[in-house]
Structure 1
Amino acid sequence: MIKLIASDMDGTLVSSNHKISEADARAVKKAQEKGIEFIITTGRSYEDAVPQVHQAGIECNYLVMNGSELRNENGKIIQSLYLSEMLVRDIVAELENANLCVELYTTGGTFTPSDAERRKWAVAAKINQFHPKISVEEAYKSAGEHFLYREVTPIASLDEIFENDYFVGKIISFSHDTEKIAALRRTLPAIYPVNVTGSFAINLEITNPLADKGQAIKTYAEKKGIHLKEIMTIGDSYNDLGMLDERFGYTVAMGNAIEEVKEAAKYQTDTNDENGVGKAIERFVQID
Structure 2
Amino acid sequence: MIRVVKLLAVDLDGTLLNEESRISQKNLDAIKYAQSNGVEVIIATGRAHFDVIEIFKDTGLKTWIIAANGATIHQPNGELFHSKAINHEDAITILSWLENENFYYEVFSNHSIFTPQNGRELLAIEMDRLKSANPDVSIEKLKYAAEKQYSQMGFSFIKSYQDLIGMKEDIYNILAFSFHEEKLKKGSSQFEYLEDITIVSSAKHNFEFEHKYASKGIALEILANKLGIPLTDTAAVGDSFNDLSMMRAAGKSIAMGNALEEIKDLCNEVTLPNVEDGVAHLIYSLIPVTADY
TM-score (norm 1): 0.87
Corresponding position: 1:91 with 2:85: no
Displacement of 1:216: 1.0
Structure 1 residue aligned with 2:283: 281
Cα pair 1:40 1:60 within 8 Å, conserved? yes
Structure 2 residue aligned with 1:24: 27
**Counterpart secondary structure, 1:95:** helix
Structure 1 residue aligned with 2:13: 10
CA distance in 2, matches of 1:120, 1:46: 28
Corresponding position: 1:49 with 2:52: yes
TM-score (norm 2): 0.85
Structure 2 residue aligned with 1:248: 250
- The change in CA–CA distance for 1:159 and 1:187 in structure 2 (over 3 A counts) is closer
Cα pair 1:197 1:239 within 8 Å, conserved? yes
Matches of residues 150-161 of structure 1 in structure 2 within 5 Å?
Answer: 152-158=155-161, 160-161=163-164
Cα pair 1:70 1:77 within 8 Å, conserved? yes
Displacement of 1:163: 4.1
> Which of 207, 226, 229 is equivalent to 1:226?
229
Matches of residues 57-136 of structure 1 in structure 2 within 5 Å?
Answer: 57-113=60-116, 115-116=118-119, 117-118=121-122, 120=124, 134=140, 136=142
| CA displacement, residues 201-245 of structure 1 (integer Å, 9 cap, x when unaligned) | 201111111111111101211222211110010000111111221
Structure 2 residue aligned with 1:129: none
Matches of residues 156-195 of structure 1 in structure 2 within 5 Å?
Answer: 156-158=159-161, 160-195=163-198
- Give me the CA root mean square deviation: 2.6
Structure 2 residue aligned with 1:128: none
Gaps (5+ residues) in structure 1? 125-131
CA distance in 2, matches of 1:72, 1:149: 21
Structure 2 residue aligned with 1:127: none
Cα pair 1:235 1:254 within 8 Å, conserved? yes
Structure 2 residue aligned with 1:270: 272
Identical aligned residues as a percent: 29
* Aligned residue type for 1:118: L
> Comparing 214-223 with 226-235, which one deviates more in the overlay?
214-223
Displacement of 1:180: 2.5
Total equivalences in the alignment: 275
Cα pair 1:9 1:42 within 8 Å, conserved? yes
CA distance in 2, matches of 1:175, 1:251: 30
* Aligned residue type for 1:9: L
**Counterpart secondary structure, 1:52:** helix
CA distance in 1, matches of 2:64, 2:11: 13
CA distance in 2, matches of 1:230, 1:91: 38
CA distance in 2, matches of 1:281, 1:149: 27
| CA displacement, residues 80-131 of structure 1 (integer Å, 9 cap, x when unaligned) | 100121011101112223321121011131112463532545899xxxxxxx
Displacement of 1:161: 3.5
Structure 1 residue aligned with 2:202: 199
Gaps (5+ residues) in structure 2? 129-137
Matches of residues 138-153 of structure 1 in structure 2 within 5 Å?
Answer: 139=143, 148=151, 152-153=155-156
> Which of 243, 257, 260 is equivalent to 2:259?
257
> Comparing 187-196 with 40-49, which one deviates more in the overlay?
187-196
* Aligned residue type for 1:251: S
| CA displacement, residues 53-100 of structure 1 (integer Å, 9 cap, x when unaligned) | 233332101000011110112221111100121011101112223321
* Aligned residue type for 1:274: E
CA distance in 2, matches of 1:156, 1:79: 31
Cα pair 2:50 2:111 within 8 Å, conserved? no
Cα pair 2:71 2:211 within 8 Å, conserved? yes
* Aligned residue type for 1:282: Y
Corresponding position: 1:209 with 2:215: no
CA distance in 1, matches of 2:54, 2:232: 31
